């Protein structure tokens, strides 16, 4: 910095003359009075009043503009957004509560329905079993009755047949005896004989 400022002082006059020649440069041409060249520009007190005045004017207007216009607006935007977010969160929480309640109600109904279904199933099962049992018993009884009947008929048929077999045998035996012996055997004898053979 010491080197550069020394350099600046050396070169300042030439810069000034060049400006005098070109009649003021466009970008940051110096029209600084000759006596100001000795001082480092930021420490030149001649520029202080004007800089302070314009700083006060520009910064004051800037402050008023920000305070009156910009900051209420930006603050408003942010407040509205925060309100909206908290409102949405509240609503989401409310909806979640409702959904939870619905799920709980559904679960309860489901459990009840399951219980009912179980009992209904059990009842139906029991009823069906009982019905099947009675039907089976009825059929068994009917079958038993038929069986007994059939057995009785078979027995009577058999008895009749046996009775007839006895008389046929007696007739046949008496006929055979007649034919062979030529006499008549007593009926009682023949019956006894047949009986003993038939046994």
Partner 1 sequence: MAADKVDPIHQFHINKLIPIEIGGYDLSFTNSALFMVATVVVAAAFLFLTTSSRSLVPGRLQSVSEMAYEFVGNMLRDAAGTQGMKFFPFVFSLFMFVLVANLLGLFPYFFTVTSHIIVTFGLAALVIGTVVVYGFMKHGLGFLKLFVPHGVPVFLLPLVVLIEVISFVSRPVSLSVRLFANMLAGHITLKVFSGFVVSLSALGAVGVAGSILPLAMAVALTALELLVAFLQAYVFAVLTCMYLNDALHPGH
Nearer to partner 1, 16 or 177 (CB): 16
Query: Is 61 near partner 1 (CB under 8 A)?
Result: yes
| 190 close to 173: Cβ distance less than 8 angstroms | yes
How far out from the chain centre does Cα 111 lie? 16
Binding segment toward partner 1, per CB under 8 A, in 46-54, 101-109, 128-136, 150-158: 46-54
Query: Is 127 near partner 1 (CB under 8 A)?
Result: no
State whether residue 136 is helix, strand or coil.
helix
d(CA 20, CA 13): 10
Query: Is 87 near partner 1 (CB under 8 A)?
Result: no
Nearer to partner 1, 2 or 179 (CB): 2
Q: Which residue has the tokens 């009992």?
A: 119
Task: Count, in order, helices (H) and strands (E) of the chain.
Answer: 4, 0
Query: Is 65 near partner 1 (CB under 8 A)?
Result: yes
Q: Which of 20, 69, 110, 135 binds partner 1 (CB under 8 A)?
A: 69
Query: Is 148 near partner 1 (CB under 8 A)?
Result: no
Binding segment toward partner 1, per CB under 8 A, in 76-84, 106-114, 143-151, 165-173: 76-84
Around Cβ 47, how many Cβ atoms within 10 Å?
14
């Amino acid at each position: 910095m010491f080197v550069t400022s020394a350099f600046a002082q050396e070169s300042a006059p030439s810069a000034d003359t060049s400006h005098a020649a070109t009649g003021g440069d466009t970008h940051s041409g110096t029209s600084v009075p000759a006596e100001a060249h000795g001082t480092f520009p930021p420490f030149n007190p001649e520029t202080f009043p004007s800089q302070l005045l314009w700083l006060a004017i520009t910064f004051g207007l800037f402050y008023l503009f920000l305070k009156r216009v910009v900051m209420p607006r930006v603050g408003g935007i942010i407040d509205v957004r925060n309100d909206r977010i908290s409102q949405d969160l509240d609503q989401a929480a409310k909806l979640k509560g409702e959904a939870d309640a619905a799920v709980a109600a559904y679960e309860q109904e489901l459990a009840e329905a399951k219980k009912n279904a179980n009992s209904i199933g059990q009842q139906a099962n029991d009823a069906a079993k009982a019905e099947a049992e009675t039907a089976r018993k009825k059929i068994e009884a009917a079958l038993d009755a038929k069986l007994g009947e059939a057995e009785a008929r078979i027995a009577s048929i058999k008895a009749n047949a046996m009775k007839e077999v006895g008389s046929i045998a007696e007739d046949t035996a008496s006929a055979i005896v007649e034919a062979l012996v030529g006499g008549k055997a007593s009926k009682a004898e023949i019956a006894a004989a047949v009986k003993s053979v038939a046994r």
